Every structure is written in C-alpha cells, then in structure tokens.
A and B are shown apart, each in its own frame.
Chain A
C-alpha cells in the first residue's frame, strides 16, 4: 500500500496532476490514507463510533500534537478539537476590527459546540500539512459560558461526555457555511467577540472553517471510506481506511452507483413506498434511522432503537439529483440482543426517525466515495456520494 502511494506520487510529479484549486481542479489522485476504527479506544466508546487520529501543528512550525479519538464525520465539514485536549498554540482569526472570531456549530443530535476559529497546520495521515481555519471547542471563549453563549444552547464542554476529542468533518462541502456567512452577519454560526461580548459576524468564505481535504495539493476531490463487514451479532472492533482523494481506478471496489446530492447535500430514499427527499448519508450517526411503524421499538432506555423479535431483511432505494440510484438491502436486528453482546460495531442497528439517516451500518462492508462540491473526479463533480 505504501509503495503504491509512492508510485502514485511519482506519477503525479510526471503528469503534473493534483492542485484542484478554485477552478474545480482536474484529475487528482490519492494523497494517502488514514487508519480508521470502531471500538479500539477508551474515548470513542459509543457503539458504531468511527474515529481516527489527526495531527495539529502551530502554523509554520514543527510544534505538533497528534489528537486521537477524532470522529470521522461525513455529516459535517471542518476540523474541531476540544481546547482542553489541545496543547499547541494556534493562530486566532480576527475580523477587520481585530475582534476574535468564534463559531457555534450545530449538530444533528442536538448538540452544539462553541469556540474560537483558529488557524492550524493540519496533517492527515501521510499527506502534506494544510493550513486551515478550524474550531477549538471552548465554552468560555469570548467571555461566554456553557449555558450562556451566542448559540442559545448548552454547549459541549467535556470530551469524555461527548466521547470524542474532536470531529474531523470531511463531508460534501469545502467550508462549513459558504456564501451565506460571507454576506449575512446574522447567520447564527459566526460571531466576533470583544470584551466578553459577541455579535454576529460576516466571515469571508476563505476564513471560514474549511474541509481540510479540499485544500490538499493532490487528492483534494473527496474521500473514500472503506470498512469491512461484521457478523450479524456485531464485532468488538473494526478497522478500515479513510483514503484522501477519489481515484476509483486505484480502488479494489469501484462504485456501482454515483449519486449526486442536491445543493443541500441531501439524497432521496424510497422505502416501502414512502419517499424521503431529505435523506442523509452520515458516518457520524451511530445507526440507520428511519420511520417504520411496523417495527417494534425498544423499551427505555434503548428508545428510539428498534427491537424486532427477529432480525429483518429490508431494502430501500437511494437516488441522487439528476440521476443515479442504488437498491440498498439492509438488516435491522433486535437492539437489546445486540447490545447484550457488548460488541462495538453492528451493521444491523436501526432506530426510529422521521426521515432517513444512513449512519455507520451503511458504511460497514462498503467502500463509500464522498465527492466535495466543485471538485472534479472521474466519477463527476461533487457534491456526490458513490458506492
């Protein structure tokens, strides 16, 4: 594997490939890969929680720190690390008046993180460092607190309670907000803070928290997540790869379907005749979530997971915007019986929600390609999913 990467890098030198840039780039090959795993650490202890390590450096220096237990999250964009787990100094971003920029990040599980936007040199695997704005999760930043802050919410403060040291958002987009935050100060995400007072801030696209992958010199068109499958009773752990850059020709499992998402990153799922136009594919979700009143729910405290008496073989069709679809068979087993095994990775964990969230079970036994917006590959221009 290592040798192959060296060869690819050499070919890139010869062919001058890489360097996508703002024009949407040309063909880019892999920039390397990062080991990813479920069930191998004492911090990422949640069922089906996919984590990796990332190295963060003080910009322009070799003063670096490897942050372990970082959630590998296709559902968000940008790197976020708890300040309490960070020991290297980073560079604070400021607005035109010199006020420090901070951000509220809202996650689908109802959690919210608050903290400054700072510049770091981020190293993903053996790829070259990229200089990116990232979020340092700090509840007290800007004179704020866990319960009183611009997010109007109780914000995350404890890595152990969150069961992660950080989140590596490697989703469909280049930045976490985009043009909305570049023109509206009341975007509810970005704030500038001075003297314990924070106000909504306009932040240019380049100064927003960035998906580090799209800034790589090569392999910047997206990522590929490969994970092995697990038995029906689950597995104590699984280990796979997060490959930087989409190069299906180099993959042992080229995708059979390419699904462009809509501009908001949604795909459409049809399940038992019902259409869910706002479906998400999200490695950061711990299960498959979808509505089916015919499935028995689990009693508390396993609500809202499903507990059918016997494992069910189900199927849904996922389709993209303007073409591409795939029939996806999946299983839902009895959650109580699954958790009784005390395993960590399950491909048949399901729960109730009003739309489709294809969480980690979807990624087990698959190779999933995530194409970043505006970046081209031989599979097309992102945003798309392919598998």
Chain B
C-alpha cells in the first residue's frame, strides 16, 4: 500500500507535465477525476449528497476533499495535513489568480502576518494552520449548488 501511495504522489508531482487537464481541478468537469484518480491509486471515498458529492483522497499525511456538483463540476477543494498539495494541480485555471494574490499579500508594506485570504466574486481561497496541521480551501462562490453554505466547505 505504501508503495502505491508513493507512486500516486509521484504521479501528482509529475502531473503538470503529463496531465494538462489537471487532476480534479477547480472549475473543471469531474469526468476526468475518475481516470486521473485511477492513475493516482490514491485512497479515496465518495460521500453522496442531494446537490453535491465529496470525493476524498488521503495520501502522505494529506487529505484532499473535492466538492463536485450534481452536474459534475468541481466547485470547491479543501486540503488539510502536514504539508500542502500542489495547488497548481488543485486550482487549475484559477492558480495564476491565486498566485498573484499571494504575491500581493507578500509585498504589502509593512508585511502583515495573518491567515491568507483572497476574496473575489470569482474565487475565494483561504489558508490557515500551523506546523503539523495546515488547512486551506478554494471555492467558486458563484458556483455553489443550492443548499451548501461556505461554512459547509471544510
């Protein structure tokens, strides 16, 4: 099992080169998720709901939850664990907007040390935590299915 998990993470690390349509990326169709997950050999489970489902992958001290709407789109991702997953993979086309916001927060003078948050009509990303336990989430506020509130995305 450990070998499989390591192989899975290796695929995740290499994925930008070999999987242009990133694994389970925010805003993308979930139709590729199962293919990609098969390649990842991650330990995963699905919890179903009426208007959305949650796919969970646990690997190497990380738990990644993908929220998928009933029409098959990933509208939120949540990660927690000792490290941070490759957000380029998880955020997909939204990664650059996130990266720009991180750079802006970092160039703020004087620098403020606060939990990271970017908030726009299009994308919300938050990060918090401490050594051993980091937590973050990204979601598309205009794409939340009926019945789910931001505080439900944990």
A residues lining the B interface (CB < 8 Å): 45-47, 49, 71, 74-78, 104, 106-111, 152-154, 156, 161-163, 169, 171-173, 176-178, 180-181, 183-189, 200, 264-266, 278, 280, 282, 284-287, 289, 301, 304, 351-355, 357, 359
A177 adjacent to B110 (CB under 8 Å) = no
A185 to B111, CA, bound (A): 33
A109 adjacent to B114 (CB under 8 Å) = yes
A78 to B132, CA, bound (A): 12
**Which residue in chain A gives the minimum CB-CB distance to B125?**
A110
Could you jot down 28 A-B contacts, CB within 8 Å?
A: A46-B110, A71-B113, A74-B130, A76-B131, A77-B132, A106-B84, A109-B112, A109-B113, A110-B127, A153-B102, A154-B103, A163-B111, A177-B61, A184-B5, A186-B5, A186-B6, A186-B10, A186-B12, A188-B62, A264-B133, A351-B114, A352-B117, A353-B115, A353-B126, A354-B117, A357-B114, A357-B128, A359-B113
A111 to B115, CA, bound (A): 10
B133 adjacent to A152 (CB under 8 Å) = no
Other-chain contact of B83, A106, A171, A354 (Cβ < 8 Å): A106
B2 adjacent to A183 (CB under 8 Å) = yes
B114 adjacent to A186 (CB under 8 Å) = no
Residue B129 at the A interface, CB < 8 A?
A: yes
B107 adjacent to A161 (CB under 8 Å) = yes
A286 adjacent to B113 (CB under 8 Å) = yes
Instruction: Tell me whether A152 and B128 are in contact in the complex, defined as CB-CB below 8 angstroms, given that A45-B110, A46-B110, A109-B105 are known contacts.
Output: no
Residue B99 at the A interface, CB < 8 A?
A: yes
What's the minimum C-beta distance from B31 to chain A, rounded to whole angstroms?
25
Instruction: Tell me whether A154 and B132 are in contact in the complex, defined as CB-CB below 8 angstroms, given that A181-B82, A184-B5, A353-B114 are known contacts.
Output: no
Other-chain contact of B9, A75, A153, A186, A265 (Cβ < 8 Å): A186
B10 adjacent to A354 (CB under 8 Å) = no
B60 adjacent to A186 (CB under 8 Å) = yes
Other-chain contact of A173, B2, B112, B132 (Cβ < 8 Å): B132
**Which residue in chain A gives the minimum CB-CB distance to B62?**
A188
State which of B44-52, B68-76, B85-93 sits at the interface with chain A: B85-93
A180 adjacent to B82 (CB under 8 Å) = yes
Chain B residues, Cβ within 8 Å of A285: 113-115
Instruction: Tell me whether A108 and B115 are in contact in the complex, defined as CB-CB below 8 angstroms, given that A180-B60, A186-B6 are known contacts.
Output: yes
B99 adjacent to A154 (CB under 8 Å) = yes
Instruction: Tell me whether A77 and B106 are in contact in the complex, defined as CB-CB below 8 angstroms, given that A184-B5, A186-B6, A354-B151 are known contacts.
Output: no
A248 to B126, CA, bound (A): 37
Chain B residues, Cβ within 8 Å of A169: 131
B114 adjacent to A287 (CB under 8 Å) = yes
**Which residue in chain A gives the minimum CB-CB distance to B130?**
A75
What's the minimum C-beta distance from B77 to chain A, rounded to whole angstroms?
15
Residue B97 at the A interface, CB < 8 A?
A: no
Instruction: Tell me whether A110 and B6 are in contact in the complex, defined as CB-CB below 8 angstroms, given that A171-B130, A189-B83 are known contacts.
Output: no
Other-chain contact of B114, A78, A278, A289 (Cβ < 8 Å): A289
B107 adjacent to A286 (CB under 8 Å) = no
Chain A residues, Cβ within 8 Å of B99: 153-154
Instruction: Tell me whether A354 and B61 are in contact in the complex, defined as CB-CB below 8 angstroms, given that A110-B105, A153-B102 are known contacts.
Output: no
Known: A177-B61, A186-B59, A278-B129. 20 other contacts (CB 8 A): A46-B110, A46-B113, A47-B110, A106-B84, A110-B102, A161-B106, A169-B131, A171-B131, A177-B82, A177-B131, A178-B82, A181-B82, A264-B132, A265-B131, A278-B135, A280-B129, A286-B114, A351-B114, A353-B117, A354-B117
Instruction: Tell me whether A304 and B114 are in contact in the complex, defined as CB-CB below 8 angstroms, given that A108-B128, A188-B84, A354-B150 are known contacts.
Output: yes
A284 adjacent to B113 (CB under 8 Å) = yes
